[in-house]
Amino acid sequence: MKRRIKWIVLVLIIIAAGYFVYNKMYKPEAQLEPVEPPQAITFEVTQETITNSVQVKGNSRYEHETLVYAPYASKVTKWKVENGGQVKKGDLLFTLDQEALKNEIATQEATIRKAQLEAELNEFVSQQDQENAALGVTEAERIKALAAQETARLGDELNQVNAEIQARELKDKKAKIKTALYHAPATGVFLFDSASEIPQTVTDNQYIGKIVDMNKLEFIALVGEQDVFRIKTGMKVDVKMTALKDLKLSGEVTKVSKFAKTASGQNTTATSVPQFEVVISLQPNERLIGGLSLSGEIETVRKENAIVVSSIAVMHEGDLSYVMLDKGNGEYERRDIKVGMETSDKTEAVSGLKVGDVVVLQ
């Protein structure tokens, strides 16, 4: 029985193998369906507004910052402002001690008065010497008297110069003492130079802090040498905030630097990449504060009603530019065009094309 089963299995294997070989050798190959040639990519010539722009990045900065310096060296007797406090122009910020400066003024006034009295005395003595010289009986006495007069005259001139210097110093000190009650020179938010340490004594002309106008901000951006000549004052700018991408701001170019800077703000060197500062005024916005990262698009050129075609359909051959014009029924014709303004995706055809023409990319 087992032997019979083996023969049946062997016959089945032989039949299957034969069928496979027959299909491979004698069965006709299936007819392949015809492949359609690829369709040409077409672009329609349109009339629209095209623009060129420069992309810039930078930071926001307060436009007006009024620096506050100590008018003279003294102790601060009273502070009337806190760090971050709002102040108005004319508000009292701080009071300085006046006693030391008053003593200096009194001493200098006494010195000047003493010099005046000495000058009057010297003038009287000089007059007496002149009279004596006129009555002198000998030539030697007259020469001696004239020498004394010349010495006195030179001394008077020197005293006059010293008196003028002292008078100017006295005038400056009297002007300084009027600033002992120091009033805010501008309106805004007052910020100490060091918020952690409010000075109790100040030196002459010491920097104390600044008053910031929170309502006026500007956008400071750096651009390369390829873009700096394309940007002009008065150009409009679309501004975006990195932290709030959906918030759109508007600005206007107010200044384009003519001196290159490095990223640190120093003058550029021969080995560094030149960067030029562009200042953009910003419209007020409640979410806009100083120090934010901003990006902007400065529209440098705009052309209305331009006849344009997709830039990838324009081919160049030396100084010539051309497109392949679709004539219909699968026929194409080379058409030379004169190129005008170009953007990243559009090319203006000054001549050679009209609105409604169709060009192909083969």
**pLDDT (0 to 100) of residue 253:** 95
d(CA 308, CA 302): 13
Least confident of 133-137, 202-206, 323-327: 133-137
Please tell me whether residues 146 and 196 are part of one structural domain: no
Q: What mean pLDDT value characterizes the chain?
A: 81
16 found inside a domain: no
18 found inside a domain: no
**Residue located via tokens 């800077």:** 261
pLDDT: which is higher, 311 or 197: 311
> Could you tell me the CATH number of the domain that includes residue 90?
2.40.50.100
127 found inside a domain: yes
Please tell me whether residues 295 and 225 are part of one structural domain: yes
Statement: residue 218 has pLDDT above 60: yes
The predicted model gives 11-39 an average pLDDT of 57
Please tell me whether residues 319 and 353 are part of one structural domain: yes
Q: What angle do CA 322, 327, 329 make, to 5 degrees?
A: 140
Last residue of one domain, picked from the residues 167, 195, 215: 215
Last residue of one domain, picked from the residues 200, 215, 230: 215
Percentage of residues of the chain with pLDDT beyond 70: 75
Please tell me whether residues 206 and 222 are part of one structural domain: no
**pLDDT (0 to 100) of residue 190:** 92
Q: Is residue 2 very low, low, confident or very high in pLDDT (cuts 50, 70, 90)?
A: very low
The predicted model gives 11-26 an average pLDDT of 59
128 found inside a domain: yes
Statement: residue 5 has pLDDT above 50: no
Please tell me whether residues 238 and 309 are part of one structural domain: yes
| Per-residue pLDDT reduced to its tens digit, 239-284 | 999 989 888 899 999 999 988 886 554 555 555 678 999 999 998 8
**pLDDT (0 to 100) of residue 267:** 54
Please tell me whether residues 290 and 358 are part of one structural domain: yes
**pLDDT (0 to 100) of residue 344:** 81
198 found inside a domain: yes
| Per-residue pLDDT reduced to its tens digit, 58-114 | 999 998 889 999 998 889 999 999 988 999 999 999 999 888 878 878 887 787 777
Please tell me whether residues 228 and 362 are part of one structural domain: yes
Please tell me whether residues 86 and 194 are part of one structural domain: yes
**pLDDT (0 to 100) of residue 234:** 93
Please tell me whether residues 194 and 260 are part of one structural domain: no
Which domain covers residue 75, as residue numbers?
Answer: 64-96+182-215
Please tell me whether residues 175 and 285 are part of one structural domain: no
**pLDDT (0 to 100) of residue 336:** 92
355 found inside a domain: yes
343 found inside a domain: yes
Please tell me whether residues 194 and 311 are part of one structural domain: no
- Residues forming beta bridges with residue 66, ordered by sequence position: 211
Q: What SS3 string covers the chain? A: CHHHHHHHHHHHHHHHHHHHHHHHHHCCCCCCCCCCCCCCEEEECEEEEEEEEEEEEEEEEECCEEEEECCCCEEEEEECCCCCEEECCCCEEEEECCHHHHHHHHHHHHHHHHHHHHHHHHHHHHHHHHHHHHHCCCHHHHHHHHHHHHHHHHHHHHHHHHHHHHHHHHHHHHHHHCCCEEECCCCEEEEECCCCCCCCEECCCCEEEEEECCCCEEEEEEEEHHHHCCCCCCCEEEEEECCCCCCEEEEEEEEEEEEEECCCCCECCCCCCCEEEEEEEECCCCCCCCCCEEEEEEEEEEEEEEEEEEHHHCEEECCEEEEEEEEECCEEEEEEEEEEEECCCEEEEEECCCCCCEEEEC
> Could you tell me the CATH number of the domain that includes residue 316?
2.40.30.170
Please tell me whether residues 300 and 351 are part of one structural domain: yes
4 found inside a domain: no
d(CA 223, CA 260): 10
Last residue of one domain, picked from the residues 196, 215, 234: 215
State which amino acid sits at residue 258: K
Statement: residue 295 has pLDDT above 90: yes
Report the domain count for the chain.
3
C-alpha distances in angstroms, 226 versus 121, 223, 354?
76, 8, 33
d(CA 227, CA 219): 17
**pLDDT (0 to 100) of residue 125:** 63
CA-derived radius of gyration, the chain: 46
